[in-house]
Amino acid sequence: MNPAQRALWFVESHLACELTLDEIAGVAGISRFHMVRAFAAATGMSVMRYVRARRLSEAARALAAGAPDILTLALDADYGSHEAFTRAFRDHFGVTPETVRSLARIDHIGLQEPIQMDSTASDNLQVPRFETSKPLLVAGLGGRYSSENGAGIPGQWQRFHQCVADIPNRIGKLAFGVCCNGDDAGNFDYIAGVEVSDFSDLPREFARVWIPEAHYAVFTHRDHISTIRRTVNTIWNHWLPASGLKAADAPNFERYDESFDPLTGDGGLEIWVPVKD
């Protein structure tokens, strides 16, 4: 397991929580000393500097969108006061939070975007099973991504876990990460959600997708969630071309059962890829 990849996943999926170097190193299964050096070697910065830069960047986005309460943003970014937050913000970006809010733009400052996790080919892809899925209605939080910016998905899952109880008509305890509505430029919608019986009572803030009955190749991903891009890359660029099958025009999705632990990223999941002869 690459400890830097594991740390990246944990930081991005817990960015709104209190984070310490000891906790991040513990999740990666290494010492503080090892974590500092492994992360810096992989990314060019210290892990806690990355945490601060990401939090300040998300605060800058909120300010440009008109967030009225700077103290709330300061506390969410783990600063104890308006003054401490303003000082850190100015040191990092060269402007004050009030300036970003008044200009309502962030194209003049250097934001720290999420660092993409490893997508090199995996050498331990599990042999898939094949299933015909039943139709599914999935409701949850949606986001639009490209192949270059999918690093924001762990943060989307964190927000989903905070509001999943507000989704009406839920069926079962499974969770789904659905990729759909892709275009030729590589953009796609990603919905972190749950199965529901119908959409009639779904509040407007939630996204929805209907997954029709389809034939799927189902892959088990047993490793840490931070390595999922390696598995997905191997499926689409190695297994599928060699399989003699073709990708069907239907959503593909991740399926998480109760064995998956959203706190640690362990427990495994399934990747369902629609296929046809």
Domains in the chain, CATH or no CATH each:
3-103 (1.10.10.60), 129-276 (3.20.80.10)
Residues in the chain, overall count: 277
pLDDT at 218: 98
pLDDT at 121: 83
Specify whether the CB–CB gap between 125 and 239 falls below 8 A.
yes
pLDDT of 1 over the 60 cut? no
pLDDT of 260 over the 90 cut? yes
pLDDT at 209: 98
The amino acid at 60: A
pLDDT of 84 over the 80 cut? yes
Pairing of strands 269-276, 136-145: unpaired
Query: Measured between alpha carbons, how far is 235 from 221 in angstroms, rounded to an integer?
Result: 11
User: Once rounded to an integer, what is the mean pLDDT over residues 86-93?
Assistant: 96
User: Once rounded to an integer, what is the mean pLDDT over residues 156-183?
Assistant: 95
Query: Measured between alpha carbons, how far is 152 from 227 in angstroms, rounded to an integer?
Result: 15
* pLDDT tens for each residue of 4-49: 899 999 999 999 899 999 999 999 888 888 889 889 888 888 899 9
Query: Measured between alpha carbons, how far is 251 from 181 in angstroms, rounded to an integer?
Result: 8
DSSP annotation string for the chain: --HHHHHHHHHHHTTTS---HHHHHHHHTS-HHHHHHHHHHHHSS-HHHHHHHHHHHHHHHHHHTT---HHHHHHHTT-SSHHHHHHHHHHHHSS-HHHHHHHT--TTS---PPPPPP-SPPS-PPPPEEEEEPPEEEEEEEEEE-TT-GGGHHHHHHHHHHHGGG-SSB-SS-EEEEEE---TTS-EEEEEEEEBS-STT--TTSEEEEE--EEEEEEEE-S-GGGHHHHHHHIIIIIHHHHT-EE-SS-EEEEE-TT--TTTS-S-EEEEEEEE-
- Specify the residue for token string 């720290």: 112
Using alpha carbons, list the distances in angstroms from residue 218 to 86, 214, 223.
49, 12, 15
